[in-house]
Each structure stands twice: as structure tokens, then as C-alpha cells.
Amino acid sequence: MAEQIVISGVGVWNPEFTITNDELVSSYNAWAESYNAAHREQIDQNKVTAKPQSSSEFIEKASGIKQRYIYQKEGALDIDRMRPTIPERGEDELSDQAQIAIEAATKALEQANKSAADVDVVIVSCAYTQRAYPAIAIEVQEALGIEGFGFDMLVACSAATFGMHRAYEMIAAGTAACVLVINPELVSPQVNYTDRDSHFIFGDVATATVLEKAETATADHVYEILSTKALTKYSSNIRSNFSYMSRANDVDPYGPDKLFHQAGRKVFKEVCPLAADHIEQHLSRHELKPADVRRWWLHQANINMNTLICKRLLGREASREEAPIVLDEYANTASAGSVIAFGLNHKDLKSGDHGVLCSFGAGYSIGSLVLKKR
């Protein structure tokens, strides 16, 4: 029989600072007014477009977001700055991203009843790493005292699920026995707080999961991974052009196209059917139907997307108990959203219950795991 592989621990860490919709909107609107006043003449001559006002009501209705966590609040709401202030750390200090990765990893290891000595591999998988090398995963490996190896992976919104896929395959292949997958989503430095259409979308968080062979798992809540399924389809509708190439391209490395930007409507329309079909196909591999799934730990980009995807799958709206939403508190946390939903909503399932953990987003990329509670 094929090796049984499980998720035995999950950790969710959030920063101490939050920004509510009202705080964010009041800062953005003050910035927009000041921009428009400074460009009044060009705006009147139709040479410059006036910046529109944002609204808390729109944000909550369009996305389900009420607040977001932020790693460093200072600077992000200052209309003369509009980006967080995060002092650079020295080369001999722990990096910001490794620090938050360790916070989540420690919680996941504790839940899995595992110590550093049990882990063979560290995968840091997220939307951005704060440097190219040395890998954040190797820094985390060193800080936690883990032997073996580590590497970083970038797959935008599907980084967490794709990271778990790699862990699953390594354990199945026998190249690892226990893998720590960490998603330190430190995304606020890439948010354009002067863009009305996207300033509200993202929050910072870190999540982590422990994957191991079923035979070594001793945790209270263990989920067998029945299988994994991945899909990518190229699209520029969600994009960041931030790049080491800017220096040679002679362009502004912090221009608006170098930060997160998207065609949100197109993304919504194109990704929802892709994700629903993907999940249905994945379930059919195990002769399961959507109605057999006890819980949906879906990507958390937009509440209306999740409602629509569940409707396509179930033929009716899913309850919050069936498909938990964490957007109101966390906002979109890139790849960590489905892991937060899982981390906060998995202990009540009974042995034999099935669940689907699924991400969807930039790339486009879709990653799913069909899980069964042990």
C-alpha cells in the first residue's frame, strides 16, 4: 500500500497591529484630496485624472474585509509616505520574514508534537521573499536547529498549497519523513496604498503546516492527504513587475506597475469557474461528490468568490460552518488564507470526515488537497 501522509500540525501567527477599513479609507481619502489639490490645474485641463474617493461600505460589500493585520503600522497611513516603515536589519540579524516564519512554525510544531530533530526539510513558500539568497528557509532552518535542507518557493496565492504538494511528494518518494512548510506572507510593502482599487485588499500573516508519515503522527488532530492536484494557466491579470531587472532597465523600481495590481473583475470571472471545475475533478478521483465534503477551507481573496464557487459546487450557498471565512479579520493574506481557514476550523471534524483545502489566484494558479480526518 502507498505511504499514508498526513498534516499533523498547523500554526497561524498574526502581527499585533491592525488597520480597520475606516482608518485606511480616511488616510487614502486625505491623500487623494491632497493629490488633487496639488494637481488642480492639470486636472482642470484634463491632463491628469483626479483621484477618486474610497469607501468602507464598498470595501466590505465588494470583498468581505473589515480589517487587516499589518507587520508595522507606522508609515502606512501617513499621507506623506503611504507605505509601512520597516527599518532595514543588519546581515547578522534575523530577517523580518524569518522572524514571522519562526512564529508560525513554532506553533505548528507544537501542535504536531514535533521538535526540530524530527524535521528533515523546511520549505518557505509565499508570494514574495524579502531577498533572493540566502534562502529564508535556510535561515529558518538554522535558527530552529533543523538538520537536512531547506528552500524557498514563490507561487503567489497558491504558494502554500503548492508547498504542501512538494512536501507530500518528498515524503511519498522517501526523500523526507517530516516537512515543515511555512508561509510568511509579509505583503504590506508591496501594497500600493495610493491605489483606490487595491489599497484595501491585503494583510500580513504567517502560517505553517507540518506534514509527515501517518505512522509517526501523534497529534490530536491528524488529516490524511488523499491526494493533491495543481493547475496553472498563464494570465497577466494579477501582476507585480518588481524585479532585480529594474536597475538594468533604467526604470523606477517602485513605480505603480512594480507593486501589486490587477484587473479584479476579470480575475473574478475567470478564476471562479476554473477553481470550481478543478475541485470537482479532484474530488471525482476519490469517487467523492461536493455534497460528501464536510468542510471547505478555501482561498480567502474575496467573500463573493467563495460564495459563487460553493454555489457552483453544491447547487446552494454553503454555510459559514461548511466554508469558513476569515477575510473579515485577516483580509487577503496571499497564499496563507486557506491555511488560516484550516488552522482555525479543523478540530471539530469527526474521524472519516472529508475536507478540501484549496487556493486560487495569481499565475493563474490553483492548488488543492483532499483531506480525511484520521
Region from 6-14, 139-147, 290-298, 299-307 binding ligand CO8, contact rule CB under 6 A: 299-307
Based on CB atoms, which residue is closest to ligand CO8, 51 or 372?
51
Q: Is 157 known to be catalytic?
A: yes
Per-residue exposure over 3-16, b if at least 16 CB sit within 10 Å of its own CB, e if not: ebbbbbbbbbbbbe
**By CB under 6 A, what part of segment 135-164 binds ligand CO8?**
156-157
**How far is 5 from 367, CA to CA, in rounded Å?**
17
**Parallel/antiparallel/unpaired status of strands 5-13 and 205-213:** antiparallel
**By CB under 6 A, what part of segment 170-199 binds ligand CO8?**
187, 190-191, 196-197
**How far is 177 from 167, CA to CA, in rounded Å?**
9
CA atoms lying within 13 Å on the CB side of residue 329 = 12
Instruction: Report how many residues bind ligand CO8 under the rule CB under 6 A.
Output: 30
Q: Find out whether 209 and 181 touch, Cβ atoms under 8 Å.
A: yes
Based on CB atoms, which residue is closest to ligand CO8, 135 or 334?
334
- Closest approach, Cβ 55 to ligand CO8, in A, equals 4
Q: Give the CA-trace dihedral at 317, 341, 216, 279, to 10 degrees.
A: 40
- Closest approach, Cβ 246 to ligand CO8, in A, equals 17
Out of 126, 157, 178, 310, the active site residue is 157
Cell 513558500 belongs to 125
Q: What's the 3-state SS for 31-92?
A: HHHHHHHHCHHHHHCCCCCCCCCCCHHHHHHHHCCCEEEECCCCCCCCCCCCCCCCCCCCCC
Based on CB atoms, which residue is closest to ligand CO8, 175 or 236?
236
Phi-psi region of 201 (alpha: psi -120 to 50; beta: other; left: phi over 0): alpha
Spatial neighbors of 157 by CB under 8 A, at least 6 apart, are 127, 238, 299, 301, 334, 335, 337, 359, 360, 361, 362, 363, 365
- Mask 52-91, x = binds ligand CO8 (CB under 6 A)? --xx--xx--xx----------------------------
- Mask 250-289, x = binds ligand CO8 (CB under 6 A)? ----------x-x-xx-xx---------------------
Based on CB atoms, which residue is closest to ligand CO8, 52 or 145?
52
Based on CB atoms, which residue is closest to ligand CO8, 8 or 72?
72
- Mask 97-136, x = binds ligand CO8 (CB under 6 A)? ------------------------------x---------
Contacts to ligand CO8 by CB under 6 A: 54-55, 58-59, 62-63, 127, 156-157, 187, 190-191, 196-197, 200, 202, 238, 260, 262, 264-265, 267-268, 301-302, 305, 332, 334, 361-362
Question: Catalytic residues, which ones?
Answer: 157
